[in-house]
Structure 1
Amino acid sequence: MVCEHVELRVLSSNLREGRADIASFTDLARISADVITLSELTPDWVQRFYAAGMRDDFPYSVLVPTPGAGGYGLWSRYPVEVIAPLRGGSMVAARVDIGAVQIEPIVASVHIMNPLTFYGRAFDE
């Protein structure tokens, strides 16, 4: 049995409360990603992403931007279908329709808590 091979390149980044360098990020995304997953996504960063002309390269998205560190989202070159709740959590997941294969991979953007922060200390207690 020979299986069909399709490459899906995923770029994941913590945007450091929207402080990530937009030019470096968009350059990297254009040459190396089919899907982008993000944590600490801010409304301002979404606007800068679109201002950099990325809407044409990544026309599909599931975005939950917030001020500070609580935002998350994903952009894709392929159509996406949301499969995880958008509000009240720290992740978003979507099924990606590549079109050339029968399966639709699931991609998630997850914001992992740093165990050394204030919240991590609360976990230890």
Structure 2
Amino acid sequence: MSERISTQQRGDAAEALARQHLERHGLRLLAQNWRCRLGELDLVMLDADTVVFVEVRYRRYSAWGGAAESVDARKREKLCRAAQHFLQQQSRWAKYPCRFDVIAITADSQAPAQLDWIQNAFDT
């Protein structure tokens, strides 16, 4: 039996790890893998009175660039558009302040996963 794990399974596991971490820090899940024609939001959480759009990035090897650095200008723009659409569709959250966080997870076979939570990672 193969020990290989698909990219989708790794992504799902990374999102589950990120969600657990955020919930341990008091955030509450509003939506997970929320999709629209403009993109996808990995996690939408509520931190007290702030709606938090969380991008989860996983990298097996940091040598090819870190997980956090992979959230480039194009990805940030796509996240902003999807977040605006979310707030239009879920209007009860539109009155709350918002922020964008990144959870960067790096794991290789030699060490346990390293999770870096970057709050307010970028402005819109």
Shorter-chain TM-score category? under 0.3
Structure number with higher helix proportion = 2
TM-score (norm 1): 0.28
TM-score (norm 2): 0.28
More relative contact order, 1 or 2 (CA 8 Å, 6+ apart): 2
Larger radius of gyration: 1
